Amino acid sequence: MAITRRGTGWELLASWWVLLPLGSLGMLAWAGFLYAGVRTRNRPWIIAAVVYFAAFVYALTLDGSNTAGFILIGIWVAGTVHAFVARPEFLIRLDVELSGDAARSSPAPRTTRVVPVDATHTPLAPPAAPKPPAPRVPAPPPGPASQAAAPVDLNAAPEAAVAALPGIGPILAQRAMQLREARGGFASVDDFGDALDLKPHILERIRALAFTTPRAAPPRPTGRRVDY
């Protein structure tokens, strides 16, 4: 089943990097995660690439000992499993990145408003004298409810509400919706910031405006069990 709206064929072609750890017996696991991290701007995958590369170089320095073999096998197994687990999130992030690039490269067309003019209309009477301006009445001070907007539930709010948060916008909001569906929700506001790779100052701005609620667990089966 396709994870994104681009279809299964595109997802298979975009997932070529997951074969690097498997096909190279782990020796190129670092290259696969370096590509995935740089392509989607995901810092944890770049760190994983550095760890896999360091482990591979350390194994080479052991000059063919049993310990080197165990390390290489560990890199092979761990890198392959890690790549297939990270593949759904990679496809979602790549889809959002490509959608954002397309939106930035094709600006919306400008429209010109035309107001019709009736050339045959003639005024029947001279325009009345302008009325004196009414006295201005000071507006009442805002109440507590209008001073602060209602906080946004990151696990239930619509995409428009998430996009209205400071520093988010429509592109990151679309990514948040896809990640929320793929991950089953966010554990906290910090988890939301880590998933979107937000800057610390942006995360601090939305911390007081958002919260997370745990997603409802699936209902447990009820009834008596009868053994025959």
pLDDT tens-digit readout, 17-47: 999 998 988 889 999 899 998 999 899 999 9
Q: What is the pLDDT of residue 106?
A: 56
Higher per-residue pLDDT: 140 or 173: 173
The residue ranking higher by pLDDT, 26 or 52, is: 52
Its sign, for the CA torsion 164, 170, 176, 178, is positive
Mean pLDDT of the residues in the chain:
79
Strands 152-153 and 210-211 turn out to be parallel
Beta partners for residue 152, in sequence order: 210
Question: Hey, which residues does 153 pair with through a beta bridge?
Answer: 211
Which one, of 171, 156, 169, 170, lies nearest residue 210 by Cα? 156
pLDDT tops 70 at residue 216: no
Per-residue 3-state assignment (H helix, E strand, C coil) for 112-179:
CCCCCCCCCCCCCCCCCCCCCCCCCCCCCCCCHHHHCCCCEECCCCCHHHHHCCCCCHHHHHHHHHHH
Would you state the pLDDT for residue 127?
59
* Six-digit token string for 83: 């790549």
For residue 223, give the 3-state DSSP assignment: coil
Contact between 33 and 45 (Cβ < 8 Å): yes
Residues 172, 162: Cα–Cα separation, whole Å: 9
Contacts of 107 (CB under 8 A, 6+ apart): none
80 — pLDDT class (breaks 50, 70, 90): very high
pLDDT over 90, % of the chain:
24
Domains of the chain with CATH codes = 8-104 (no CATH), 152-211 (1.10.150)
Q: Which residue has better confidence, 61 or 121?
A: 61
Average pLDDT over residues 143-167: 76
The pLDDT, as a whole number, for residue 102 is 64
CA angle 124, 129, 135 (to 5 degrees): 140
Q: Which is it for the CA torsion 197, 202, 203, 208, positive or negative?
A: negative
What is the pLDDT, as a whole number, of residue 14? 87
Please tell me the predicted confidence (pLDDT) of residue 112.
Answer: 56
At residue 143, the pLDDT reads: 44
pLDDT band at residue 55, thresholds of 50, 70 and 90?
very high
Which pair of structure tokens corresponds to residue 92? Answer: 């979602």
